[in-house]
């Protein structure tokens, strides 16, 4: 509490990202000072089994030895060069080999930079201005994407926060997720003016929401028919749900892909990539400009490279799926036994417990969850020593470091937390 008081003197709200303030769960934030494997430790030494995973970064668990050692070696050589280094090439090669739709890649420093740059590229290539996005999908805090739905089935966006001019928001068409009819209507009305559509192929920012395969297939078909580009935002799902991301699971190839989180191995990294004929429109080969002083930072590139090597070596996805399913089914069994309205959505190493009996397949159904009940559950679970995201509308993450014992202990703690509701 003393550190929080000090933080609020110098940081806005005491944090550097709003959700860290724990406001939606009605309690004070914790300060973490150490993390290893499946555990994190707060300022007072309390241990938590961690399902936040640095918001999806820690696929291999926290501070995997091989990655940490390689980072130490590289740090001794220099922290930043400002020119190209060999590990940029090595990591780019790994990305291209893993994701069939990507011929070339450009590294940036965050998921927001990746989506912002991908949309600029799409608009530049197509010479069109409108963007299609889906309600409940978060693509970073870029003005054109931080918008909310207008009224009606297929309408242009409204500013989602102060500071975004209405004229900018209206360049984005916001549609309901998993609604194929709305897709058809939007592309029929605006198709020739649409530069691109951007979507989370598995949503992770309204909680985990699984796409209808027909919805994604129709989106791919409609974008091709009207000459727009399809962008898969795989900042969360890239390398997490499979080595080739959600597009590998669903066998649907987008025109552009955005990446982050797992890709950085714990350091700030984003990327976007696609077919060579599109990517060559970027400077210095083409006329569409994007740059960054710390893009391709050697420390971040080393961390990402050795993380992907480890993932390729272990191919952990079946094991992750089994662990996630076990946790999801165990939680649902506990809540149902207590008569608490609930549903659990999961995909490979991601899951969300929603406090609603309704199937959650879009943002509207997600919003009908009992948020007050979630806040109580979060606080109870935190007291039990389990850390989950401090928001109903975020994914929990399983790592390769989570053991069978971790899951058993977690379910015991979930049961106690649920009983106290």
Task: State residue 135 phi and psi, 5-degree precision.
Answer: -60, 130
Q: How many helices (H) and strands (E) does the chain have?
A: 15, 17
For residue 346, indicate whether it is catalytic.
no
Task: Tell me, rounded to whole angstroms, the distance of Cα 196 from its chain centroid.
Answer: 20
* CB-CB contact of 148 with 158 (8 Å): yes
* List of residues 6+ apart from 190 with CB closer than 8 A: 130, 154, 173
> Which pair of structure tokens corresponds to residue 34?
């150490």
**What SS3 state is found at 296?**
coil
Phi-psi region of 177 (alpha: psi -120 to 50; beta: other; left: phi over 0): beta
From 39, 70, 261, 413, the catalytic residue: 261
Q: Is 233 a catalytic residue?
A: yes
Catalytic residue among 87, 138, 177, 305: 138
Catalytic residue, chosen from 48, 70, 179, 233, is: 233
Q: Answer yes or no: are the C-beta atoms of 91 and 259 closer than 8 Å.
A: no
138 catalytically annotated: yes
Tokens of 81: 């060069």
DSSP calls for 262-283: GGGTTS--EEEEE-HHHHTTBT
Question: What is the set of active-site residues?
Answer: 138, 233, 261
């Amino acid at each position: 509490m003393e550190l929080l008081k000090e933080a609020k003197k110098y940081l806005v709200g005491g944090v550097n990202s709003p959700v860290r303030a724990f406001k939606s769960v009605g309690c004070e934030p914790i300060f973490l000072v150490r993390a290893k494997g499946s555990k994190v430790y707060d300022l007072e030494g309390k241990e938590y089994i961690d399902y936040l995973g640095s918001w999806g970064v820690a696929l291999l668990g926290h501070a995997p030895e091989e990655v940490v050692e390689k980072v130490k070696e590289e740090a001794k050589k220099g922290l930043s060069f400002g020119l190209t280094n060999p590990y940029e090439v090595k990591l780019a090669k790994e990305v291209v080999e893993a994701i069939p739709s990507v011929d070339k890649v450009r590294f940036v420093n965050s998921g927001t930079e990746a989506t912002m740059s991908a949309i600029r590229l799409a608009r530049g290539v197509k010479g069109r201005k409108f963007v299609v996005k889906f309600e409940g999908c978060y693509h970073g805090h870029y003005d054109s994407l931080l918008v909310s739905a207008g009224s009606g089935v297929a309408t242009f966006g409204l500013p989602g926060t102060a500071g975004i001019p209405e004229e900018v928001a209206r360049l984005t068409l916001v549609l309901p997720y998993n609604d194929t009819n709305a897709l058809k209507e939007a592309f029929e009305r605006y198709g020739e003016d649409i530069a691109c559509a951007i979507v989370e192929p598995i949503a992770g920012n309204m909680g985990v929401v699984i796409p209808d395969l027909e919805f994604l297939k129709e989106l791919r078909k409609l974008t091709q028919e009207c000459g727009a580009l399809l962008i898969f935002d795989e900042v969360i799902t890239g390398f997490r749900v499979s080595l080739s991301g959600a597009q590998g699971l669903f066998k649907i190839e987008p025109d552009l892909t955005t990446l982050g989180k797992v890709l950085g191995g714990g350091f700030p990294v984003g990327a976007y990539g696609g077919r060579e004929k599109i990517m060559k429109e970027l400077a210095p080969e083409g006329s569409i400009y994007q740059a960054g002083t710390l893009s391709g930072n050697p420390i971040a590139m080393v961390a990402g490279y050795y993380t992907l090597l480890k993932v390729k070596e272990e191919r952990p996805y079946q094991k992750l799926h089994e662990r996630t399913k076990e946790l999801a089914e165990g939680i649902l069994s506990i809540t149902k036994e207590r008569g608490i309205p609930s549903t659990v959505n999961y995909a490979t190493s991601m899951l969300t417990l929603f406090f609603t009996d309704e199937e959650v397949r879009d943002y509207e159904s997600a919003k009908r969850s009992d948020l007050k009940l979630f806040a109580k559950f979060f606080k109870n679970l935190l007291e039990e020593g389990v850390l989950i995201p401090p928001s109903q509308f975020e994914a929990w993450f399983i790592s390769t470091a989570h053991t069978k014992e971790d899951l058993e202990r977690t379910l015991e703690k979930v049961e106690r937390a649920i009983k106290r509701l």
